[in-house]
Homo-oligomer: A and B are copies of this chain.
């Protein structure tokens, strides 16, 4: 048999999808599962987006331009300007999900053997894209006790070598829910400038911030003109993960010209999804207010319920819709599997994501899980009460 690639063999399995076979088996056995493991919101997609697709009058489903439909790009640029991010449609490329924006970014700025620095725990697929690109991730550990705030900037600086190309952050954070302060963003910017590195910020959860705090985009720092790359996506903003539309944004012209060549090689982003995404920009403001209230409510409900369980601790999230939770078990992967395959409460169980997969340092976060509060309150309460009973039964064994 011909040999597979080394990088293919090294490619990590998604920690979010890793337990899927156990979930499939539980479903087959007739169990009901509360899915707190994946960021798939149950919030309806804005009607204006769905209707635009239903009412499309295409006879031929053609390619769009490689960087996306001009009309969508123009309207999207306006959305950014309205959000304090002063760019034009020339500064963005429409991509197939935020994932492809990351892929184009990696391709444009790294060669095999290069390095990127990422505070951990981090969105696991950053590692996947790094491995796919032959790039090494150097983690800087952030801590549960600090709600995963920015580690001392010296720890980032200590990781910089001549192969370092970028620092990558997710703000607000997945899986941590942490929102970087203005000062923290500035520290990262200063470091990037000092060492002439790209600063890549995944800001797909921009709209999801709570408690009156403000989101600070790296794109709002004019000194980062050539250094800032923003990754974005419509997936969470409009609860349309299945659209697969994102974008890569930078004012660095040479970078964007290079990224466009990667975009041309794959021809174009999906047409129907661009129609939906363009229309989604007309989503009424009320939608976001309601959705944000809903998420805040869910977060508060979740945290209160979790903290009432003996031995369970929660790192309070300020944004996104995830939180990292410490459980009184040694190995949450084993516990999560056990909940799916051996436990149920009246035929129901809960699925969570073991957090170790979000760390790049081995054997870290073994007692942590990530919970996505993407279900309605009643279901969150159900899911947590199941978790509570499961913990009792599991720790008794």
Most chain-B Cβ atoms within 10 A of its Cβ — which of A9, A56, A63, A239?
Answer: A63
- Beta-carbon contact of A5 and B111 below 8 Å: yes
Given contacts A2-B196, A270-B272, A271-B243, is CB(A262)–CB(B227) below 8 Å? Answer: no
Given contacts A129-B265, A254-B4, is CB(A276)–CB(B61) below 8 Å? Answer: yes
A50 lies within 8 A of chain B by Cβ: yes
Chain A positions 36-93 with a Cβ under 8 Å from a chain B Cβ: 38, 40-45, 49-50, 53-56, 58-64, 66
Copy total for this chain: 2
Smallest distance from the beta carbon of A45 to chain B beta carbons, Å? Answer: 5
Which residues of B have CB within 8 Å of A11? Answer: 107, 258, 261-262, 265
Q: Which of B5, B166, B239, B272 contacts A109 (CB 8 A)?
A: B5
A178 lies within 8 A of chain B by Cβ: no
Q: Which of B60, B134, B272, B273 contacts A112 (CB 8 A)?
A: B134
Most chain-B Cβ atoms within 10 A of its Cβ — which of A8, A50, A56, A240?
Answer: A8
* A2→B195 CA distance, assembly (Å): 9
- Beta-carbon contact of B4 and A261 below 8 Å: no
Given contacts A198-B2, A258-B9, A269-B244, is CB(A44)–CB(B66) below 8 Å? Answer: no
Given contacts A45-B60, A240-B61, is CB(A276)–CB(B272) below 8 Å? Answer: yes
* A366→B68 CA distance, assembly (Å): 31
Smallest distance from the beta carbon of A44 to chain B beta carbons, Å? Answer: 5
- Beta-carbon contact of A5 and B271 below 8 Å: no
- Beta-carbon contact of B111 and A243 below 8 Å: no
Nearest chain-B residue to A110 (Cβ)? B5
Chain A residue total in the interface (Cβ 8 A)? 83
Smallest distance from the beta carbon of A334 to chain B beta carbons, Å? Answer: 21
Q: Which of B7, B110, B111, B114 contacts A111 (CB 8 A)?
A: B7
Which residues of B have CB within 8 Å of A55? Answer: 54
- Beta-carbon contact of B61 and A109 below 8 Å: no
Nearest chain-B residue to A54 (Cβ)? B54
Chain A positions 268-285 with a Cβ under 8 Å from a chain B Cβ: 268-273, 276
Which residues of B have CB within 8 Å of A54? Answer: 53-56
Nearest chain-B residue to A96 (Cβ)? B96
- Beta-carbon contact of B109 and A266 below 8 Å: no
Nearest chain-B residue to A199 (Cβ)? B2
A181 lies within 8 A of chain B by Cβ: no
- Beta-carbon contact of A1 and B196 below 8 Å: yes
* A208→B111 CA distance, assembly (Å): 39
A13 lies within 8 A of chain B by Cβ: yes
Which residues of B have CB within 8 Å of A197? Answer: 2
What residues of chain A have their CB less than 8 Å away from a CB belonging to chain B? 1-9, 11-14, 17, 38, 40-45, 49-50, 53-56, 58-64, 66, 96-97, 99-100, 103, 107-112, 114, 125, 128-129, 132, 134, 165-166, 196-198, 226-227, 239-244, 252, 254-255, 258-259, 261-262, 264-273, 276
A-B contact pairs, 12 of them (CB 8 A): A2-B198, A4-B258, A7-B111, A8-B259, A11-B107, A14-B66, A45-B58, A97-B267, A99-B266, A112-B134, A244-B269, A272-B272
